Structures are given as C-alpha cells and as structure tokens.
Structure 1
C-alpha cells in the first residue's frame, strides 16, 4: 500500500526551503499542511508501506546544489552526444525515522495498571492525544490531572516523549524560519539530533555553519560524517554536498580523507567518479583561468582516464584550448581521437576541419567538413573558405581555369566575397572571355568603386576596343582618374604633349620642356657639293638665337633669328652664268652673302603656324615665307596636311638671288609654294604603312615658273625595342617629277635640282628613343637604288636662242645617315645637336649643328619636341 507521506520544512541559513510542509500522521490520508516562507525547500518522499527509507526528489539550488557531473556519476547516467555530462538529480536514501520519530503507543503495562487502580487518573486519553500529535492538549490534560490529583505525576516516558517532540518542533521551526544562529545552538545542545541517523538535519547544520563561517566546526562535522556514517551513500552524498561549503583545497582534503573509508564495488565506482569529476573540474577551472601550465599538467594525469571513459566532452574542451593557443598538432590529435570515438560528433568534426584549414591543408579541410550536416552553417563557412583559399593559390600561380573551378565550388557553399568576384573576373579575362569579364568588372565597380574594379573595367573595355564606353562609368573616382590617365597616356604616345599635360598634370606636368619658357643659342653648318661659284653651297648660321614661351595650357610661341652666311666658292671665268656673254665681267659675280633670317611661329598639338622672311641683304629683295600645318590623329592613323611657302636652299641663286656679272641684272630667290599630305596607318602586330604626296609651284625673280609633284610610300615593321618609342625597319619608294629642268645658272634658270624623273627604292631604319628620359635621339639610316633623268633645257628659258643644255641620265646608289639629339644637363640646361650626311650619285650633302638651351622652369626630362627640328629644317 502506497501513501504520500512527507514534506519536511528546513529553515537553516544556507539551506533552501519549500513553500509548504506536509506532516504525515500514522493514519493514511491524515495530513496537515503548514505554510512556509517563500525560500523554503521541500523534500518530498514516496514510501511504500513496507519501506523504511525516503527518496529525495528535488534539491534547491541555493542550499545543496549538486554539480551535474558528480550527480550523473552517482546516478550512472550516460553522456550525451557531444560528450558533455548532463546534470541529473542526486538520489540519496535518507532514513525517514532519523528525521521524524513516530509517536509511540502507550505501553500495555501502563494501561493494565490504570485499569487496576481506578483511583488514579486515566492516562489513556493523554496517549491517544499524543499519538494524534495534539501536544498542546496533552500538556493541558496533564495540568488538569495534576490539579485533580495533586499526588499524581505524569508518566516519565510520556513526559520524555513530549519533550522530544517539542525539541523536534523547535528544530523544524528554526529550519523553517532560516534561523542559522539558533540552528547552530541547537546543534551544540543536542548533537545527537544531527547524527548520521538524521543525515538531512546534519546537512542542514553544516550549511548553517558554512553560512556563519564556522570553518573548524564545519570541517570537523563533515569529517565525522564522511568517516563515521554507516551508509556509504550518505558518505558519498556528504562529499558531494560539501564542495559547496568548503574551499577547493578543503574539499579535496575531505575527499582524501574519505578515500580510506570502506566501500562496496558500486560505492568505489561512485567515489572514483567523484575523484575524476573533481579532476576534470580542476581542468575546466585551469582553462577558464588561462593557467596553461596547470592545464597541461592536469590533462597529462587525466588523459588515460578521459580516454578510458570516452569522455569526449573533456577531449574537446582541451582540443579547443590547444586550438586557441595555436597548438594545432595537439588539437588535431584530440579532435581526431574524439571523432574516432564518436564519428557523428559534429563538434569534433568541425574542430578537426578548422585545424586543417589553419594548417593550410585545405583539401583535408574540405574532406572533413563535407561530413558535417548539409544545413550546418559552420560546414558551409568551412567549405567556402577552403575553396577560396585554393582559388587564391591557383590565382597566384596564374592558373585561370583552376581558379574558376575552385570558385565555382565555393559558390555552392555561399556567396562569393568581393575579392573572389574580382579574381573570377580577372581569370575570365585571362582566358580570353573578355566580354564576360567586362560585365563583372562594371557591375562590381557600380556596386563599390575601387582601384581593382576600375582597373578591370579599363583593361577589359580597352581590349574590346570599347574605350568610349568607359566614359559613362568614369563619373566617379577612381575610374575617372584611371580613365583620364589612360587618355592622357594615349595623347602622350601620339606626341600630343600639351593635351596630355593639361589632362593629367600630376603625371606630365614636369615632363620634358613642354611649353617651358626657354631661350637657346647655337650654330648650324651645311656643306653641299657642286660646281664652285654655282651649285656648290656652304651655309653657316652663326648664331642661331631662339626663345619660346607658353601661351596658355595648350600652345607655345617661338621666335628665332639667324645670321645666314652663304658661300659658293670661286666662280670660274668660263662658267656659263647670267646672260652668258663673253668678255670681261662688268660686275663682280655673286658667290657669297650674309643676311638675317627672322621667323616667328606658334604651335600646339594640332596646329603649327609660322611666318618669316628669307635672309635680307641678297641680290633679290627678301620675300615672306611661312606655313600652316594641321595634324589629325585617331587611334591607328595620323594625317598631316600643310600649306607652305618656303625658300629653295640649294644654291645662292635659288636662296637669295644673283647678279649677272655681264649686265648687272638680278634674278633668282626661288620660292616653293605647295601643299603636302602625309599619312601613317597602323596595321597591327607593329606593322604600318605610310604615304605622302607633294604638289608645288615654284617661281622667282626673272626665273621661269615650274611645277613639281612628288609621291612617297613605304611599309614598315616596328621592332618593338624596349628603349625606343619606335624603331621601324621599312622599305620605301620615292618618285619626283619636275615640269622643267631649271637647275642651271643662266638667266631664267633657278639653280635648283629639278629632274624630270627621280626614282629611288630601298630599305630604311627610322628610330626615336623613349620619351620623357634624360636624353632623346631621333635618327634615320636609309639606302636606295636611284634612277635620275634630267631633261634638256634651253640656256635662257622663256627667251630661247636655240642653245640648250643636254639631257642626262644617271643611276646609282644613295644613302642617308642622320641623327638629332638632346641631353638634359640639369633641371635648367639642355644641350643638343645634329649630324647628317646625304650621298647621291651627283652630290654629297653634310650637315652639323650644336646648341645650348636654358629653361626658366625646372624640368626633369626631355621630349621629342625638344629636338632642334626647326633649326635643322632651316638648313634645307
């Protein structure tokens, strides 16, 4: 027969309480409830009718809190999946008789005696009231009987039992009211009430002493309970509970004391579990306190037991500790051991995968991580990071295809971070999937403008020849700067230095001598072979003075003045010159002269305009000269067109004019008035074709007018040499035709080479060293097969007297070797010069010049615009 019997109220400081205490009577169902304080705790027991012990069903947290690991050990619970032992209630078999002493029946002898002596008061009602726990009524009954029977004394046994019940009530009240001081006093007065037989009260007294800080009496009591209690479960439970009342050192000393007590096999297992749990708690505390040396020492002692018990939670605890300390090899061993013990342990698998990842063993990390559940967030993170790491390695090895393979697998684990998307785009670009790459780069740049995506947009769009499509995207930085820099670089490569500097001053502001205020002085010499006094010519330009200054950001104004000294040597007495009359010369022949040749010019990257005069002090008055040139450029083509009026510098007659030594008539000073078109077309793979057409009208003072047409064409291959802007090896063809042969020096002739047909074909090497360096050199080396045909010509064109010069033909080889250069001496000084030799079957022409230039702004390099092109051209 079952009955629910007991809820005991304990109100000791340090012990918890329950709200209601139910006190059981001997009769079934006779129960009264006593209301307790909110902090009370309940011990509820279920008892069979033939049982002598009660089972504790719930323990309050603020009095006797069992560490879950020990309670599990005592209950022999099975660890959960991840190795962490779960807390379960500790079951302690406490003798009910040691807590509540049942009322005794009235002795039979007493009853018989009362029946035999009816004159004495009847005490049976008193015993009945006692058995019904009506202690107040018992006392009232005794008092009443003593007043009725003055000589009567209450039975000593009843008095003793009543006193005992009153003590028990007092103890219950003290416990219920949590009066720790009163409880400790009761413990001192009635130690027998707190013996092993009343183990629950003994624990309550221990908790009170712990609350009051009575360390010595507490330790003495606990040592007594641990060593003297007959029931081993009480001893073990005391060891367990005492860890909340003692310091760790005191508790471990108590465990050592309890080790000497006898135990059953089951008790020994529970005691060893308690010792083990103490060790692992020490281990956990050391890890929490970051006491690494103690952790290592404790784990070395506990590891065999941990492995034997397959305590995976402790293995993982230490494994994660080692992982955080970057002791990856040790962590790997522990994670692997835990995983071998429990293959489905996700904690161990995750840790092992992380170790492999930290060790850069990404293939193993992937293999291990794939064993995690598909919906595990950690699994996806591991796989994503591992595949990204492998993609980085492949990308660093420039293996674009493998990079894309890894990134494709990474996408299955999660969204790619931005840097991975950039790797994907660059890999597509490397494989030639430029359109796809450009779309990704543009999308990434729109989402987050940065240097990497901007560079990708530039590279892919330019490769697709979509440079114009960059502009709509280049409204923000950094693409705006990169695009501007690209355009400026293109302009710079096209020699459009003014525009490049204006667009990107940071890069090209200090380049060369672009539009820097400057002045220079030099000398220029030319010697052309020919007949002395006639076609032979020596030109000395000493000095050559120049000055330049910028006009805004895009142009430069140049002013030059040259003193030109011409000399053709001594004229032979039998030379056919002027009117050709025989006899003595009435006037000295013109074989030398000196004059000034001024010129002013302005240029930018598109236009070049000049206005000047032929040298003064000649036999024929000076004439204006000049030109207008325009250059248009595209990515692969350049077209230069010009209109010009220039002197013919082939003899004194053609350049400044002569006087007839017989009549004194002045004639000559021939001007070329023409149009010239030059074109260059890039063909790809560094091949190019170029062509020029030149149409001229020539006239001079008393010189027969003439017409000239010239055509030039070539094909060339840029050798793509690192130190050169270009080095083009080509094959050229040239054809010139003059309507009249006016190369002679009689009246009506102009004294300039004017063949009916001039044809040349041959190879040439044209080169220019790199721009923006400390020096720059431009040169040409050409060889050609030449065929020349000069037509017959009257002595006096326009006044034919029947005499004529015979026609002629001449074939042979020619060559040209020339170079001009500029060297930067320092930030303010440049020195330059030129050398040239032109050799044809009928003449040889040699040129040289030297100059020094002063810059009025600091410049760090030189450009092709610093070459003495105008001075050099002014010799021909």
Structure 2
C-alpha cells in the first residue's frame, strides 16, 4: 500500500506544511497538495496556539514511518536559544498570516512576511518553531523543485547529511535514492542501499527499498545487499518477499555473468536450483543449440513456473532440435496462443518430413512437406524440395527394383515441384533410356542441356543419342552450344567404338580411358607360316602348298597401314617334280575404323611364277545402321583352287596358261530383328579371266538366320540355318588347254547349319571358331576339251552329285609376354567333291608391349583371298 510522508517531518520539527510526500515502492517520489479542510485545520491550530487554548505534543525527531503532526510549544522553541531578551508579546505581533502562508505552501511569501514583521517590530524575535517551520518548508520545496527539474546534484546538496546508524525520514530517503539513481552513481547507490537496509526497521519501507534495489543496483550492489544479516534473517513476510526479489536479482546477475564469459555450465548450475522463470527460460535458450535435450528440461520447468508462451515455444524448438516431433507438437498445443504458432508447426512438419524421408517413408514425407508449405508459405521452396525429393527417392527405389513404370510415374509427379523439376526430368530421361526409349530420352536430355548445359544432361544426351543412333546430331549441338557435351559425345564415340570392336578409334578418342587398350596402337611385326593340303588328281587339282608371310603394321589414329610379302611354294604331286612352283606375292594394305569402316589392299600375283604377274586388290566398306549392318566389296583376286588357277602352268608345248583372276563385287546385309535374332543375305557377281583361259562369269547368293546365345566369356556365339547358291556360265574345272582349273559348277546348292563363336577380346588369349554341316547338290555341264581352239574337241565331264559336307575353322592367339604374341590356325573341309586341310602358326612382336589381344591378332590364311582384308 502507498505511504504518506508529510513535509514537516524534518530534523528540527515544524508546523504542518501544505504538501505531503507519497511514495509507492515502484514509483517516483511526488507531491500531493493538502485539501482545503486540511489547510483550515492547520490555520486553526495556529489560532489555538496564539490564543493559549492549548498545544499539541512536539514531533519525535528522526522517527521513521508515519506519525502525527504537531506544533512545537514555546518551551521547545526556546530550548536551543539560551538566555535572550524576550520578544514583544505575541499579541503585539500577529504571526498567524505567516503560519497560514506556510500551510498553503507559499513559503517565499511566508518568509517575506516574517521579515516584514521583523522590520516592523524592531528587536522582536520570531518564534524559533516558526523559523524552523519556514526554513524546513522552504528547503523541502527546493528539493521538490530540484527533483522535478532532475537537478540531481542540487537535490543532494539540499538534503541534510545522513547520520550514521539512523534511518532518514522517508521523504529524504526517497529523494536521495532518486538523485543517486539519476546521477548513475553506482558506488553511491550501493553504499546508500546497504546503509538504509541495515539501519531502517520499518517492514514496509524495507520491502519497498528491496524491490527498488533489485531494479536499480548493479550486480555488485545486489551481491552486497543480499548478505545484509537483517534482511537475510528477517521473519517479516513483507521483508522476506523483498529479500526474495533481491535473491532472484542476485542469481540473475551471476547467471548473466557466467553466460557472458561463456561458462554455460556454471550458468546452468544456477538455473538448476533457481525458481525464477526468467532465469530458467534464459537457460533454456542458452542450451538450445549446444544441448537441446537439457534445454528442453529448462523450458519445461519454465513452463511449470508460469514462463508463458516463450516457455512453450522454447520447449517446442528444443523438441524439434532433438527430433521429438510429437513433443514439439504437444508443446505448441499447450501454448495459450497456439494458433499463432503455425510457423513453428510448419518447421516441425518439414523436419519430420526430412526424417521420414531418410527412413524411406516417402509418401508420409511428401504429405508432411506439403502441409508445411500450407502452414508457412515462407517454407514453400524447402517444403517442395523435401516433397519432390521424397518422390524422387521413391522413384529411385522403383528404378532399382526394375519397376520402370512406377519409377517414371513418381518422377513425373516430382517434376511438378519447381526445386526438383530439373532433377525429376533428368530421372525421366534415364528411365526412358533404360526402358529402351532412346529417342525420347535423347529429346529430354537435349532440352535439359539447351536450358542449362551441365555434366549430367550432357552425359545423358550423349548416351541416349548414341543408343538412338543420333550421336552426330548431338555432336552438332555440342559444336553450336559448347559446354561439356563435346567431351561427352567424344566419350560416347569412344565407348561405341570400344564395344563395337573399333579399338584403334576408342584409343584415339579416349587415350586414357580403357586400360586394356594400352599398346593397341603400337607398331607390330608379324611372321607366319602356313600349310595347305588339298586332295585331288596328281598334277591337276591336288596341291600341297607352303607359305611364309612377313609383314609390318603401323597404326595411326583409327587407321592401320600394312605392308608384307608372302612366299609360296606349291606342289601338285606330279611325278618328277614337274608340278612344283615357287613365287612371291607382295602387298600393301590400309584400313580405317569408324561408323563406316573402310579397307583397301593391293598386290601382285604371282611374282616369279609360271605366268605373268597381275595386280590384285580389294576394297571393302562396312556401314552400321544402328543395330543393322551393310557391307559392299569390289575385288580383283586370284583363284587358289589349283596351281594352274593360282600361278599358271606351262603346257606340253611350253605355252603358259592359267593364273585366273576373279573380278567382281559382293554386297551383304544383316538385319537385327530383336531378341538376339538376325537375318543375313548376300549377293555377288564376278567375271573370271586368265592367261590363255576361257572367260567365265559367276553369280552367287546366300541367306541365313541366326540366334545369338549369351554366354560369359564370349564376344559372340551364334547359330542357325543357312543356304548358299552359286552358278557359273561354263564349266572350266579341267586342266587341258583353255581351262582354268577351278571349281565352276552350273548349279550349286548348299543348305546346312552353322555355329560361329569368338571369345571376348582384350584378354591374354582369344579363340575363334566357325563350324558348319550341310548338304550339297552339284550339277556340272559337259565342257569342250579345248574351248579356245577352233576344234574344241570332245565334250568332257558333266553330271550331278550330292552329299554331305562339313567344315571347321579354328584360330587362336596367345599373349606370352608384353611384346610377344603367338597365333595358330587350323581349317578342315570335307565334302563329296574334295577334302582340304590348312594349318598355320604365327609370331608377332610388338615393341613397347601390348596389354591385351584384339581380333586382328588372329592371322589370315594366305590361301584364302576372301579373308585377306577385314573392313
């Protein structure tokens, strides 16, 4: 309750003043004027005094608290004056107006009136109590004016000195407190409150002082006050409450000091024992980041101590920090203004969405994230990132399980969220590519790359374009747009070349990508030895041949350059060694890998043989059309059916004949019909001519179907039926003058089943196998014995035959060291018409070494011109 302290309660006593001081413990010291009835009562008191009707008791000096107001008696007024001459009788000097002016607070006028009376009545002495009354009143008015003007120095100067061991009158006490606080005199305030709380005894005053001290003193002052014994040991409820306020302030100060120096453990220890909601709440905020679990305990205690909405907010944030989303929602629900916590609730939903996304509950994650965006639009982008990301995670899982349809559907849903739209569309592209929709995937990646050229879209675009057969289009975009696409396209060119067996191209495009291709572009030197044994009639189509081939190959980029010389020795088995011949066949070759592979070979045959040498050669081109293949060849090559056809021979009259050259073309197409199945067809036509031999022409056709069988360790393994047809205009399969000595049926049919296999390249060994069984039907017309002579002679030969046939061709190579490769081959053909055996062995030296073998390391057969070049 408010206390009223009247202005007369000064050290020397006095008459009732016109003002009384009122102090509320938390308010400033202020003045409330007396009412008119009180002023009348004061004037009446003066009249009674002058008329001698009686007097009130004098006030007790320095008594604290609220006390009665009295007017000093004459005896009290003279106590301190000693022996003086008595003034004129009071009746002669009317001082009542002076008292009245003082009672009205008109102290200057009262003082002026008193001086006027003194001048009027020479030698008259004013009453001592009146003098004290006016002096004290004037001083109190000056103090009030100084307080109002906030002239704190003047206030302190006007106040009388405090006496040791005594409690000041309340009006002086509060005025001094205001002045010291106004001057921010911390040391003075500390000393003041220690003194007054030690000397004063009134419980209400002590409680008011304690509350004010808690609000105004620094930590040092409060620290000293809480150790004042009279306060600590007081049993008065008001004092105890005030002391409790001081204890809370002291704990708060120590808490802040510990927090300021970073000693959060000391600050936490204070909070553990405190009942101050403010301190406990602050401890919660302090521990929120380093120890959210401990912060949650503080916030819970703060809420129990009526910490308000901040306590529930803090508890929700601490629960959120430790991932206890249920506790966070519970805290928000208990707050009085829970509806205003949508922003925090949105954060809880979003954080839980991220958590359950990590746990694989992508549907729940998307639901929570969408709800968070609705609660707090400011979180829209983060929420969309979480929701769209969850859908992408679900899509990735479906993709991993092979459920491409579900993966695509989820990815398309994710693409509706802008933060993950590009990632979702990227995923759609990969799914389409995996599903075999290469063209659609290429369109998606192309659009993404044009929008923002980056590594992933470039990678996807290049790969999809390669699978769709549109790598050249991707390369054009790379040249126009720039960015990483060019290198990705080149890598895909290299990859395509690598998996298609164009190893020189792959090495040239990506020198450091494929370790197995190390050394594949090194120069090599080859030496091979071959044997051919063909049965038949001695001196005619029987043949035993030997060949030694020396060659060198130089690789430059995707091109291979070859030069070599083959030495032949052929024996027909004729008695006396007549059917023997030796000759050479030099050659030059070039080939280039690529989408369209090219190969060219030229040579002379035979050099030093029985007939004049002629130039031979062959050019071939192979083109890939996606999974389909087309091939075309033109050739001028020798027939190797016999010594007569191959190198020519000298007749009985020393005439030279033979050395048949076949000039023609051949086209082949291979159609991939899916499922590892393929159809192949070929067509060829040729003209045959030789020295002193009858001309001939040939047409042939073939058709086959194959099924690819996937087996580990095989580059290919295919099997299937085939049919071949061949027809010559005339039969020249004889050895009389004018004939060529080569198989030339007018109707030849062959149908059978074949098996073709080759092991994986880029190993230390490689094996190739071609086998077939078939049924053959041959019809040969009779031919004139001497077709070029005017008299051709009798018809010879002719007839029909049929039977089974089989062939086996095996070739292998082995790397026996980094620089040395050994190769071998064996071929056997058996039919009703003839039998043929071929074998060979070769050695390859690769200076600088080679990491692995490639198919070109398998040696070619010098007795089979059709295998001399491989485009």
Q: Normalized against structure 1, the TM-score is what?
A: 0.75
- Distance in structure 1 (CA, Å) of the matches to 2:824 and 2:654: 40
3-state DSSP of counterpart to 1:745? coil
Q: How far apart are 1:373 and its partner, in Å?
A: 8.7
How far apart, CA to CA, are the structure 2 residues paired with 1:849 and 1:252? 113
Tell me if 1:168 matches 2:160: no
The Cα of 1:727 is off from its aligned counterpart by 2.8
Between 1:277-286 and 1:778-787, the stretch displaced more is: 277-286
Structure 2 contact 600–619 (Cα < 8 Å) conserved: yes
The corresponding residue for 2:376 is 376
**Would you say 1:597 and 2:588 are equivalent positions?**
no
Paired residue for 1:479, among 461, 485, 492? 485
Does structure 1 residue 715 correspond to structure 2 residue 705? yes
Shift of residue 97, structure 1, vs aligned partner:
6.8
Mapping of 1:198-213 within 5 angstroms? Answer: 200-201=174-175, 203-204=177-178, 207=181, 211-213=185-187
* Change over 3 Å in CA distance of 1:349–1:146 after alignment to 2: same
Range with greater deviation from structure 2 (398-407 or 811-820): 398-407
Work out the CA distance in 2 between the residues paired with 1:719 and 1:142: 136
Q: 1:768, 1:778 within 8 Å by CA — same for their partners in 2?
A: yes
Structure scoring higher RCO (CA < 8 A, sep ≥ 6) equals: 1
Distance between the aligned counterparts of 2:200 and 2:380, measured in 1?
53
What does residue 840 of structure 1 align with?
831
Q: Does structure 2 retain, via aligned residues, the 8 Å contact 1:349–1:372?
A: yes
- 1:420/1:749 Cα in 2 relative to 1: closer, same or farther (>3 Å)? closer
Shift of 1:381: 4.9
Task: Work out the CA distance in 1 between the residues paired with 2:616 and 2:108.
Answer: 147
Q: Which string of whole-angstrom CA distances, capped at 9 and with x for unpartnered residues, describes residues 138-158 of structure 1? A: 434434433443542222332
Q: Does 1:452 align with 2:481?
A: no
Checking the alignment, whether the CA contact within 8 Å between 1:501 and 1:509 is kept in structure 2 is: no
Q: CA deviation at 1:397?
A: 0.7
Residue 545 of structure 1, CA deviation: 0.6
Assess, with a 3 A threshold, how the Cα gap between structure 1 residues 289 and 874 changes in structure 2: closer, same or farther: same
Q: Take 1:407 and 1:640, find their aligned partners in 2: how far apart are those partners?
A: 43
**In 1, Cα distance between equivalents of 2:497 and 2:284:** 68
Indicate the residue corresponding to 1:560 in structure 2.
564
Q: How much does 1:396 deviate?
A: 2.7
Residues 492, 291 of structure 1: CA spacing in aligned structure 2 closer, same or farther, 3 A cutoff?
closer
Q: 1:98–1:197: 8 Å Cα contact kept in structure 2?
A: no
> Equivalents in 1 of 2:696, 2:295: separation in Å?
114
Q: Sort the Cα spacing of 1:397 and 1:817 in 2 relative to 1 into closer, same or farther, 3 A.
A: same
Match of 1:818 in 2: 809
- 1:135: which partner in 2? 107
3-state SS in 2 of match to 1:317? helix
Contact 1:227 1:258 survives alignment (8 Å): no
Distance 2:632 2:866 in 1: 22
What is the CA RMSD across the aligned residues, in angstroms?
4.8
Q: How does 1:628-707 map to 2 (within 5 A)?
A: 628-660=619-651, 663-707=653-697
Q: Does 1:868 align with 2:859?
A: yes
Write the distance in 2 (CA, Å) between the matches of 1:338 and 1:811: 98
- Using a 3 Å threshold, how does the CA distance of structure 1 residues 295 and 589 change in structure 2: closer, same or farther? closer
Distance, in Å, in 1 between the alignment partners of 2:742 and 2:678 is 33
Aligned residues: 775
Q: 1:549 aligned to 2:546?
A: no
Deviation string for 1:553-588 (max 9, x for gaps)? 4533311112211122244xxxxxxxxxxxxxxxx5
1:757 aligns with 2:754: no
Find the counterpart in structure 1 of residue 352 from structure 2: 356
> Conserved in 1, the CA contact under 8 Å of 2:177 and 2:189?
no
1:188 corresponds to: 162
Alignment partner for residue 279 of structure 2, among 277, 282, 289?
282
CA distance in 2: counterparts of 1:525 and 1:654, whole angstroms: 18
TM-score normalised according to structure 2 size = 0.75
Instruction: Give the CA deviation at 1:228.
Output: 3.7
Q: Is the 8 A contact 2:648 2:657 kept in 1?
A: yes
Structure 2 residue aligned with 1:584: none
- The equivalences for 1:114-125 within 5 A come to 120-125=92-97
For residues 254-265 of structure 1, the aligned pairs below 5 Å read 257=232, 260-262=235-237
Partners of 1:404 and 1:424 within 8 A in 2: yes
User: C-alpha displacement at 1:515, in angstroms?
Assistant: 5.3
- 1:854 pairs with 2:826: no
**DSSP-derived class of the 2:738 partner:** coil
In 1, Cα distance between the equivalents of 2:30 and 2:850?
107
Question: For residues 180 and 360 of structure 1, what CA distance do their matches in structure 2 show?
Answer: 71
CA distance in 2, matches of 1:222, 1:295: 45
| Per-residue CA distance 1:301-355 (angstroms, 9 max, x = gap) | 884562474734213324434644xx334x7525423324555233552453255
Partner of 1:64: none
Q: Alignment partner of 2:517: what SS?
A: coil
Summarize the Cα distance change of 1:530–1:476 in structure 2 as closer, same or farther, 3 Å threshold. same
Report deviation, 1:241.
1.9
Q: Which runs of 5+ in 2 are unaligned?
A: 8-16, 54-87, 252-270
Shifted more, 264-273 versus 456-465: the winner is: 264-273
Post-superposition Cα deviations, 1:221-265, rounded to whole Å, max 9, x if no partner, equal 474599743279736743652565657766877899499532599
Q: Does 1:442 align with 2:416?
A: no
1:711-737 C-alpha deviation (Å, 9 max, x unpaired): 222122333445444333232111112
Preserved contact between residue 838 and residue 844 of structure 1 (Cα < 8 Å): yes
User: Quick one: distance in 2 between partners of 1:747 and 1:740?
Assistant: 15
Residues 580-595 of structure 1 mapped to structure 2, 5 A cutoff: 590-595=578-583
- Which shows bigger deviation, 312-321 or 424-433? 424-433
Q: 1:783 to 1:403 in 2, by over 3 A?
A: closer
Matches within 5 A, 1:20-31: none
Equivalent pair of 1:539/1:875 in contact (CA under 8 Å) = no
Contact persistence 1:747–1:796 (CA under 8 A): yes
How many Å separate the matches in 1 of 2:248 and 2:795?
137
| Superposed displacement of residue 761, structure 1 | 0.6
Are the equivalent residues in 2 in contact too, given 1:187–1:194 (CA < 8 A)?
no
1:689–1:716 contact (8 Å) kept in structure 2: yes
SS class of match (1:482):
helix
